[in-house]
Chain A
Amino acid sequence: MSELLGHYNYWIVIVLMMTGFYIVIARPNLIKKVIGLFIFQTSVFIFFISIAKVEGGTAPIIEEGISVYSNPLPHVLILTAIVVGLATTALGLALVVRIREAYGTINEDDIHVQDEER
Chain B
Amino acid sequence: MDMVLAVLSWSCLLGGAIFLLIGALGVLRFPDFYTRLHAVSVCDTLGAGLVLAGLMLQGGFSLVTVKLLLMFYFMMFTGPTAVHALAQAAMQGKLQAVVDEHEPE
CB atoms of A and B under 8 A apart anywhere in the complex?
no
